[in-house]
Amino acid sequence: MSLTINEIFFKNVCVFSPKTYSDNRGYFFESWNKKSFNKLLDVNYDFVQDNHSISVKGTLRGLHYQFPNPQGKLVRVISGEIFDVIVDIRESSSTFSQWRGVNLSSDNMKQIWIPPGFAHGFLTLSSKAEVLYKTTDYWHKENEKTIIWNDKDISIDWPATKKVIISEKDQNGIIFKKAQYFK
């Protein structure tokens, strides 16, 4: 697996692209290789679960995290485009409460590695988007938390969209000041 780091957000959060091999038939790339991934990021993570979501344009999912069972996530888009957002919820971090966003699409083939300790969400920009993400811990419904997507203290600059589609759970997210944080 050959990877190129495009951007680094905070400590150990990075956006990267795989090396692609193209010819008249199309293209090929290795989307995941444990040894290469761990070596590139100087980490040692195992993924235990793959998730796949399909969202229509304007769907906003997040900001989700699990407490006390944090999940690291490796996120990529296989069809369409999203604006992917992370928020640092590690109290001891120098970037605590800060957010970053990146456009991920099937065209740019970028992936983002989000280590445990971050809230995560995305807004679908294309007519439909399919998102795949690997996680370092299993989903624990009883530990799932949601920070409200439009929290004034975080002030995420979401791309403009005519209509935002949000689940009831996400509409009822808590404000950042009342969230449970990681040490």
Residues marked active site are found at: 64, 133
Query: Measured between alpha carbons, how far is 129 from 122 in angstroms, rounded to an integer?
Result: 11
- Residues 6+ positions from 94 with CB-CB distance below 8 Å: none
Query: Measured between alpha carbons, how far is 126 from 9 in angstroms, rounded to an integer?
Result: 24
Query: With contact defined as beta carbons under 8 Å apart, do 108 and 69 qualify?
Result: no
Q: Please state whether the peptide bond connecting residue 125 to the residue before it is cis, i.e. omega within 30 degrees of 0.
A: no
CB count within 10 Å of CB 88 equals 23
- Residues 6+ positions from 157 with CB-CB distance below 8 Å: 101
Q: Two tokens at 135?
A: 């996680």
